[in-house]
Amino acid sequence: MNPVASTARRLVSALLLLALFVAPTHAQKKPCKGGEKPTPDLAEVKYGPHERNVLDLWKAKSDQPTPLVVFIHGGGFKSGSKEKLSAVLLEGLLANGISVMAINYRLSPEVSFPAHYMDCARAIQFARSKAKEWNLDPTRIGSTGGSAGAGTSLWIGFHDDMADPKSSDPVLRQSTRLTCMDVSAAQSSYDPRVIKEWIGESAAKHPALMGFYGLKSDELDTPKAHKLYEGASPINSLTKDDPPVYAFYGEVGEVAADAKSGAGIHHINFGLRLKEKMDALKIECTISSRKDRVDPDKEMIEFFAKHLR
């Protein structure tokens, strides 16, 4: 055999063998066309005592501590899971050097306000307590989610720091503050009286609200209920030292007066009212909608990169 031809054949064989080992590793780093996510670096990590107090973590590749985005799922506070994290968002954040954590939390009717919020706040505190071990920068943490996960992100982001330096639990000594929130279909108020004014009767009667508050039908218009409504509404905690917000909405236009109960609960008016208040306080607030013909995943990734990198 010609020595040159023999050498060429051996080289081709070596390259094919190398491809067998390299290709699968490369494929694991990118989601498939169907939206499959890469395997998390840490899965089903317990951050609290309840069976739903678990998280998954994807670590961005970096020699330096990385920012973190926490994904809080939606589902009306009564359903949903951390698996709803978008593969596109996940890959975009990792590509920008931002680690991602997706969490579960307790649901109604087993618990009522503020338990859902407090679980998510604890998950953020838990991440901070593991910052060194997980190569995270505890000063750069953002939150994202849709619907209930979006409202929760806003509530934690606007709320005063819930760290308790005297707590016997080292996790609860950590800060709950966020650097920014990047959300979709967010409710800036969970007060049915306010929702009726902003959007209409149908949205104010969304069936998830009663379960979220743990109220009976004869308690919905009582001082007890009013106090809960006001305490659960993110916009009521907004102050001038709070972080910037990007919010995307798919529901725009007027909601029909005879719409079924729940219609309008993801309406852009929630975002526009929030922007009015944030603009008055000179805090960055960007509201986008499907009418703007934007790519929400792309804009959300860019927003996080701007504020966390």
Regarding beta strands 54-58 and 99-103, do their DSSP bridges make them parallel or antiparallel, or are they unpaired?
Answer: antiparallel
Q: What pLDDT score was predicted for residue 10?
A: 53
**Each residue's pLDDT tens digit in the chain (309 positions)?**
454 445 445 544 444 433 333 333 333 344 444 478 999 999 999 999 999 999 999 999 999 999 999 999 999 999 999 999 999 999 999 999 999 999 999 999 999 999 999 999 999 999 999 999 999 999 999 999 999 999 999 999 999 999 999 999 999 999 999 999 999 999 999 999 999 999 999 999 999 999 999 999 999 999 999 999 999 999 999 999 999 999 999 999 999 988 999 999 999 999 999 999 999 999 999 999 988 888 999 999 999 999 999
* Cβ atoms of residues 299 and 248 within 8 Å: yes
Q: What pLDDT score was predicted for residue 9?
A: 53
Q: What pLDDT score was predicted for residue 294?
A: 83
8: buried, middle or exposed (CB in 10 Å: 19+, 13-18, 0-12)?
Answer: exposed
284: buried, middle or exposed (CB in 10 Å: 19+, 13-18, 0-12)?
Answer: middle
As beta bridge partners, residue 261 has none
Within the chain, strands assigned E span 42-46, 54-58, 66-72, 99-103, 136-146, 180-184, 245-249, 285-289
99 token code pair: 């680690």
Residue at token pair 């919020």: 117
Contacts of 47 (CB under 8 A, 6+ apart): 53, 54, 55, 103, 122, 123, 126, 127, 171
- Reduce the DSSP state of residue 287 to 3 states and report it: strand
